[in-house]
Structure 1
Amino acid sequence: AMVGYARVAGGAAEDASRRVDGFANTRVFLWNQRKCLGSALHDAVRRDNVQEVRELLQAGSSKVDDRFSYQSSFQGLVQEGSGEAIHLAATAGHGAMVAALLELRASLDAKVTRGAAEHYDVLHAAIFGQGRGGSVDLVQSLLAWRAPLRRNANGHSPLHVAFLTAQPELIRLVRQHSELEELDRGRAEGLADAAPPCDDAVWCTPLELGIADGKLSAAQLSELAPLTPVSLGVFTRVGPDCIVPFLGRCLAQDIRAAQLAQHVSSADVTRVLRESPLAAASLLNTLASRPEEDNPAWHPLPRRVSFAPQGVLETIRCRHLLNPPPACLTFYEPHSRWKYDSSTFTFPPWHSGLVPPSRVDVRRMQHGVGWRRQMVRDVDIRVCHVPDVACAEVFAALGTHKSREELEIFATPMVRGLISHVWLGGACGVDLVQGLLSLYCLLVVLAE
C-alpha cells in the first residue's frame, strides 16, 4: 500500500475531510482493502453508472467533490483519510466515468488525504489500481489530458508508482510521457530534486524501488531500465544479475563505454566480483573501449605493436628470457583518450612504446634488432573507463573465487591485463627482492 504522509497547513484537505459527516443514506464499501464511508454518489461511481452520477449531481443531492472517508493504521497511529469520487473511478479503471466527472467539474489535482495531509492525486490512483496496476487506456487518457506529474507524500513520482505495480506496459507508458514532456532522463527517473519532500520519504530511483519490491524478474528489470549510466550504477549496487542483459541492450544501441562508466566505481566492481563473477567479467569488458583519437591522421591508434623489452633497463633485466612472451601490455595513465598535440606534434611519452618506431625515430626502424622486429603483433588497444580499478579491494574479491565457473573470469582480457600490470609492475620485483634477501640470510647463516 502507498503509506506515509507529509504535514501541510490546515485548509482544503481538512475542510473537505469534514464534509463526509452528515451524508444522507451513508454507504459502506471497500476501497484499497479499506472499509470506507461514502454517499450515493460514491456508490454510483463504484458501479460505473454514469447516468445515475449525472442525475445525482444535477439534482443537487451530491457535489462532485464530496469526499468519502476511511481509517488506516500507520506506524501504530490510527489516521483518517478521505478521497473524492474521481479517485474511486480512477482506481477502478472506469475511463468513461472519469471523463464524465471531469466534464462535471471534478479536478485532476484532487488529492487523497491521510491524517489531514495530502497524499496522492488522480494519476497516482489510476496507475496504482489497488496495487495490481491500473488501466493502461485510462492512464494514457489522463496523460493526454495533462494530468500533473507530481510526487506523492512518500516522495514517489508516477514512475515510482508504475514500478510498484510491476506492469511493464504501464512503466513504459509513464516513462515515455515523462520524456515527451521534455524532462531530462534524470528527472524522469526522479533524481534531480534537491531534497525529499518529507523526512519519512525513502529516497531512491524508480528502478531501485522496482528491484526492492521483488515483483519483476531480472529479465524484466533489465528490459525496463532506461539505457542510462544511472541504471547501470543501480544494477552494480543492488541488481548484479541484471547487468549482463542490460549491457547487451546498451551494446545494441552503441552507447559509449565512457558514458556508461560515469556511475561505476572500483567499489562497485568489487561488489559485483564477489556476487556475480560472470556479470563482473561482462561489466569490465563492456566498460573498456578503444580510446578516442585526438588526431587520427597524424597520430592514429596503432594496429600493430612491438612486445619486445622497451629500453636498456628492460633488456638488462632479461625478462623476455625468463618469462613467456607477454600476452598484453598495460599502462596505468590518467588519460582515457589517445592524446596528441597538433600544434607541437607531440604525444605523451608512454605512447613511444606503442607507436611504430618510424614515428619516434627513423633510425630505430632501419637498425632495429632482429628479435625485436619478430615480436610485433596485431593488437586491440582498450582503455578501462572505471577509475582506480587496480586496487587491493578488487584483487581481494578476485581471490575469493574457487569453482571452475568462477575461475573463468581470469580468462577475460581486462582481468588478465589487470593482473599482468600489477605483477610485472611491482609484485614480481617484491618477490625477487624477498628471494634475494632470503638467499643472503641463508648465506650469512652458513658462513657463521
Structure 2
Amino acid sequence: MTVNSTVESPLLANSPIRSLVAPSRELSGEGKSNRSTRSNFTREFQWNSKRCSGNDLHVAAMQGDRLEVQRLLELHPEWCQSRFTCQALLSPRCFEGRPHVEMSGEAIHLAASRGHLEILKDLLSHKASLQAGAYKDGRPYCEVLHAALLCLSEDFASTKATVNFLLEEAEMTCTSTGRHPLHLAVNSGKPELICLVRHWMKKKGITEEDLPTSHEVIEDSVRKTCFHIERPLTVAIQSAKMKLKDLVLSAEPSAFSLKMFMADCPEAVPLFLKRMTSLGKLEGILVDSELSSLDVANLMKQSELAALSLLDAATVRPRCQDWEMYPLPSTVSFASRDWEQLVWNLSNRGTLAVEAFTFLEPEDHWTAGSRWHETLLDTHFGRPIRDADIQVCQIPDLISTQLFLVLASDDIDLQTFDNRLITFIVLHVFEHHAGKVEAVRCVVNVWILALLNLHTWSMHHNELLPGIIWVAVRFLAAQSAVDILWEAIQIYGYAAIGQPWEYWSVGNLLDFCAAVVPTYLWLDPSNHPVLVVTIFIYWGRVLHFASFCEPIGRELQPFTKIFRGLGPVLFVTMVAFAAFSHAFFILQPESFSISIYGTFVTLMTAGLPEEPSPNLLESGLLYIAVTFFTVFILNIFIGVIGDEYSRLKSQSFLGFRQIRAKMCLDYMLRKQFFRIDWCSKRMSKIVLLTLIQFGLVIQLFSTFNNGHPYESLEGVAYVIILGVMHAVFYNSPGSNKFIAPHTRATELLDPNVNYFWYCCESEREVEDGDLEEISFSM
C-alpha cells in the first residue's frame, strides 16, 4: 500500500532533481482494521515523489496523525528509532556517475520536516534524539534541526515553531557538507526563518564571522576533499531569493555584514546604514569596520550612491572632550587669513571670502589646545562672519590616489560632486597642493606663447631679432622634454598603486602626443605643419588653464565638452556631404580637388553660381543640396548645440569640480615619485622666482648674441630650470600623506593617521518657529 506526501525530504536537499508533490491518499478500511496486525511489516510510501520504505510510525509522523503516533509508540516503543530508507536519483557528474544514492532517517526527521511539533515532542519522550542522524550512503548527513530547515511545510507557522523549539533544545551543528543551520535558513529564502536562526545564534554568542569557511569531506580511507564554504550572507546575495529590503533586514547588524554588502551587494549599503542608524549602532559598526580609503574607492567603482551614503554616515559633528569649557565655535570668520590667501581667493574663486576651511589632523574629536583651532576661533579677521558647520570624517586617511582615480573617471556620475565631503576633498587637495603646480604650468604656458609669437614674427622679420627663433625652439624642446618626463612619472605613479593599465586612456595618449610633437622643431624650426600643431597645442592649453579661475572655468566648461554630444549630427552631416560631393563629381567631371572645393562652398556657405547650369539635373541637385543644408542640417545643428549647451551649463559647476579632480589625480600620481619634502613652502616660492629670472636672463643673452659659444648647454639649462620649477611644488608640506592610503596593516606600523575636517557655512535656514519669543513664567 502506498501513501503520498507533500513535503521535500531533507535527505534530498543536495539532489539536482526537485520533484513535484504528489497528493496523499487515505488508507482503505481493510487497512485500518488490520493495522495492528500488519504494523511490523515494511510499508512503502511516497515522499517528495521518491519511493520510501518504512513502517506505520513513519507514515503517521509524516502525515501528522498524532493519535496514531501515540498508539504505535505504546505498542512498539522500539519503533521510535527505526529507520526508513529511500533512493534519490543524481546527475551523472555527482558521485562519479552513480545513478542514485541511498538515504535513511528516523520518524523524528519526518516530523521535523513537516513541522509537527507535538509529534516531535512525543517521539522525544520515547527516547528519540535530537542528534539522531539521517544518513546518506551509510554516512551521517544531517540531524533533526537540519531536517526541519531543509524541508519547509506548507504551514510556515508550524515550521517556525518547530525550528524555534529545536534551536532552543539542540546544538547548532553543521551538516556533513559543512553547512550551518544559517546556511539552510538562507536557502529557504524566508527572512523570518533567517532572523530566527540569527536570534538564537546571538543568544548563544555565535556570529556569522565565527562560522567555518572550509570543510573536509572524507570519501574513504584514502581520499579526502576540502572545499570552500561561502558565508551565509554571500549565499543569500547570490541566490537572489529575497527582495533587497528583506535581505537587509535579515542580515546581522554588524561590521562584518557591512563589509560583505560593500563587496557583494553595494546597492544594499544605503538601506543597511539606514537600518543601523535606526538601531543606534551605526557609529560602533563604522568603527569596527575599520574602513579605509581603498574600501571607499572600490565601493564607488561599483555604486556612487552606496559610497556617498557611506561617506555621509561616516561624516559627523565632532565630539568634544570638554563641551562646557571648550565648545565648537558656532560662528566663524570666512575672511582671508593673509595676503597670500587673499590673492589666491581672487584668482581662484573671484571673491575675497574663503569657501571652506579644510584640515588633515591626527584627532577625530575637538580637543582643547590644538593649534589649528585658532583658524576657526579667531573672528578678528573680520567679515563675513557666518554660522559654521564643522564636520569630521571618521574614515582615516580618506584622501588617496585610488579615490581620486575613481573621481576623475569619465564613467562617474557628475552628481557625485554635489556631495559636500567630495567637494571639500577636491578643494583641499587643489588649493593646498595641486593648484600650485597648475599655477606654475600656467606661467610656463604663457611664457611659451610669448616666445611662439616672437618666433612667428621673427620668421618674417629675421633682421631684427635673429636669435629669437632658436631661443623659442630650444625652450619649446626643453618643455617638451619635461612634459615627456612628467608622463613617464605619471606612468610610474599608476604602477606604484598597482594599476599601470589605467594610464592608457585617450586623454593621456593625447597628452603624450602633445608632449612629443614640438620636439621636432629642434630639427626643423621652420616646419610649418609642426608649427601649426604646436600653436594649437599651446593655445588650447589656455582653455585648460582658464579653469584655474573658477568663475571663468565654469563658463568655459560647457564649451570643452560640447562636441561630445554632436557625434550623431556630425555623422549625418558627413554622410550627406559625401553623397552630394559624389553626385556633383559625376555631373561635373573636373579635378577631384576642384569638385570638393566647389561642393564645400555650395553646401557650407550656400554659394550659388552666378548663372544657372543648362543641365536640369545639375540645377535641381544644386537647389536640393542648398535647401537641405541651409534649412535642415543647419537648424538641426543649432538645435542640438543649444540643447547640449543648456544641459552642460546646468551641470557646469559639477563638471568643473571633476576637472579639478583630474588635476588633483595627476598631482597625486606624480607625487608617488617625489617622496621627499626637500623644500619648504617659503623656499619653493624663492626658488621659483629665482629660476624665472635665470631663464629670462639666458634667453635675453641668447637673443642678442646669436651663435654664442654656450648654445650646446642652453637647452640643458632650460630643461633643468623648467624641471625644478615644476618639481619644487610636488614637495609641498603635508603632501606625503597622499602617497599610500591608510589600511589596517599600515595603522599597525604607523599609528599616526589623519582625519579630514571641514568647516563651511551652515546650510540650515532660520525658520519661523525659530523666532518665537523667549518668555519667562513668574
Call closer, same or farther: CA 1:419–1:252 in 2, change over 3 Å. Answer: same
Aligned-partner SS, 2:253: coil
* 2-structure distance, mates of 1:309, 1:251: 38
**Aligned 1:134-153 pairs, distance under 5 A:** 135-144=159-168, 146-153=169-176
Q: 1:320 aligns with which of 345, 348, 353?
A: 345
| C-alpha spacing 1:61/1:107, structure 2 compared with 1 (3 Å) | closer
Shift of 1:26: 3.4
1:409 to 408, 411, 416: 416
Q: How does 1:53-72 map to 2 (within 5 A)?
A: 53-60=69-76, 63-72=79-88
- Partner deviation per Cα, 1:203-249 (whole Å, 9 max, x = no partner): 44432221121111111112222332222222111112222222222
Aligned to 1:257: 283
Asked if structure 2 preserves the Cα contact closer than 8 Å seen for 1:70 and 1:82, the reply is yes
Q: d(CA) in 2 for partners of 1:155 and 1:84?
A: 21
Structure 2 CA distance, aligned partners of 1:33 and 1:335?
A: 66
Cα distance between partner residues in 2 of 1:124 and 1:257: 36
Residue 394 in structure 1 maps to residue 403 in structure 2: yes
Q: Which residue of 1 aligns with 2:234?
A: 208
Contact 2:130 2:144 (8 Å CA) reproduced: yes
Question: Match for residue 17 of structure 1?
Answer: none
**Conserved in 2, the CA contact under 8 Å of 1:258 and 1:385?**
no
Identify the match of residue 259 of structure 2 among 218, 228, 233. 233
User: Which has the higher mean CA deviation after the structures are superposed, 436-445 or 110-119?
Assistant: 436-445
TM-score if structure 1 supplies the norm length? Answer: 0.79
**Which residue of structure 2 lines up, in the alignment, with residue 333 of structure 1?**
361
What is the CA-CA distance between 1:86 and the residue it aligns to?
0.8
Query: How far apart in 1 are the matches of 2:230 and 2:367?
Result: 39
Aligned to 1:9: none
Aligned to 2:149: 127
**1:352 equivalent in structure 2:** 374
Cα offsets for 1:126-156 (capped at 9, x unmatched): 1232598771121222234x22122223433
Equivalent residue for 2:273? 247
2:60 pairs with 1:44: yes
Question: Is residue 2:197 matched to residue 1:169?
Answer: no
Q: Is residue 2:327 matched to residue 1:300?
A: yes
Is the Cα contact below 8 Å between 1:287 and 1:385 reproduced in 2?
A: yes
Residue in structure 2 matched with residue 19 of structure 1 by the alignment: none
For the 8 Å contact 1:120–1:152, the answer to whether it is kept is: yes
Q: CA deviation at 1:428?
A: 1.5
Residues 195, 174 of structure 1: alpha-carbon distance in 2 compared, 3 angstrom cutoff: closer
Instruction: Provide the C-alpha distance between the structure 2 equivalents of 1:36 and 1:238, rounded to a whole number of angstroms.
Output: 41
- The CA deviation string for residues 323-376 of structure 1, in whole angstroms up to 9 with x for no partner, is 334433222233222234xxxxx32x333322x12xxxxxxx6xx4xxx31133
Find the counterpart in structure 2 of residue 20 from structure 1: none
Contact in 2 for aligned 1:155/1:203 (Cα 8 Å): yes
Q: Which amino acid aligns with 1:330?
A: T
- In structure 2, what is the Cα distance between the partners aligned to 1:83 and 1:301? 68
Alignment of 1:114 with 2:133, yes or no, is: no
User: Which piece of structure 1 moves more, 147-156 or 190-199?
Assistant: 190-199
**Which residue type is aligned with residue 321 of structure 1?**
L
TM-aligned CA distance change 1:439 to 1:276, over 3 Å: same
The reply to whether residue 196 of structure 1 matches residue 196 of structure 2 is no
Describe the SS at the equivalent of 2:332.
strand
Amino acid at match of 2:316: S
CA contact (8 A) 2:106 2:134 kept: yes
- Cα contact 2:213–2:228 (8 A) shared by 1: no
> Which structure shows the higher helix fraction?
2
Q: Quick one: distance in 2 between partners of 1:424 and 1:275?
A: 29
- Residue 376 (structure 1) aligned with residue 385 (structure 2): yes
1:418 paired residue among 417, 425, 432: 425
2:247 to 207, 221, 238: 221
One-letter amino acid of the structure 2 residue matched with residue 68 of structure 1 = F
Quote the offset at 1:165 in angstroms: 1.1
Matched residue SS, 2:366 = coil
Whole-Å Cα distance in 2 between the matches of residues 92 and 435 of structure 1?
A: 78
Q: CA deviation at 1:255?
A: 2.9
Q: Compute the displacement of 1:269 (Å).
A: 2.2
Q: TM-score scaled to structure 2, two decimals? A: 0.47
Does residue 99 of the first structure (1) align with residue 106 of the second (2)? Answer: no
Give the direction of change, closer, same or farther, for the CA distance of 1:113–1:150 in structure 2 (3 Å limit): same
Counterpart mapping for 1:175-186 below 5 A:
175-181=198-204, 183=205
Structure 1 residues 91, 296: CA separation in 2 closer, same or farther (over 3 Å shift)? same
Q: For residues 307 and 36 of structure 1, do their structure 2 counterparts lie closer, same or farther at Cα, with a shift above 3 Å needed?
A: farther
**Cα distance 1:118–1:381, how it changes in 2: closer, same or farther (>3 A)?**
farther
- d(CA) in 1 for partners of 2:142, 2:357: 58
Comparing 234-243 with 125-134, which one deviates more in the overlay? 125-134
Q: Distance in 1 between matches of 2:354 and 2:141?
A: 64
Aligned CA distance change for structure 1 residues 200 and 303 (closer, same or farther; 3 Å): farther
Percentage of matched positions with identical amino acids: 30
- Measure the CA separation in 2 of the matches of 1:200 and 1:131: 33
- 2:94 counterpart residue number: 76
- Deviation of residue 91 (structure 1)? 0.7
1:378 CA drift (Å):
1.8
Which residue identity does 2:434 align to in structure 1? A
- In structure 2, what is the equivalent of residue 279 of structure 1? 306
- 1:364-405, Cα deviation, whole Å (9 max, x unpaired): x6xx4xxx31133222222212233322332232344668xx
Residues 67 and 293 (structure 1), Cα distance of their counterparts in 2 relative to 1, 3 Å cut: same
Q: RMSD of the TM alignment (CA)? A: 3.0
What is the Cα deviation at residue 106 of structure 1?
A: 0.6
Q: Secondary structure of the equivalent of 1:379?
A: strand
Gaps of 5+ in 1: 5-22, 341-345, 358-364
Q: Alpha-carbon deviation of 1:420?
A: 1.3
SS at match of 1:309: coil
Q: 1:255 to 1:50 in 2, by over 3 A?
A: closer
Per-residue CA deviation, residues 297-337 of structure 1 (Å, 9 max, x unaligned), is 3332222233333456535xx11222334433222233222
- Is 1:289 aligned with 2:316? yes
What is the Cα deviation at residue 109 of structure 1? 1.1
Does structure 1 conserve the Cα–Cα contact (< 8 Å) formed by 2:297 and 2:402? yes
Q: Do the aligned partners of 1:288 and 1:383 also contact (CA within 8 Å) in 2?
A: yes
C-alpha separation in 2, matches of 1:258 and 1:444: 61
Distance across 1 between alignment mates of 2:177 and 2:199: 23
Q: SS of the counterpart of 1:438? A: helix
Cα distance in 2 for residues equivalent to 1:162 and 1:276: 29
Q: Aligned partners of 1:258 and 1:287: how far apart in 2?
A: 11
CA distance in 2, matches of 1:401, 1:442: 30
Q: 1:286 Cα deviation (Å)?
A: 1.2
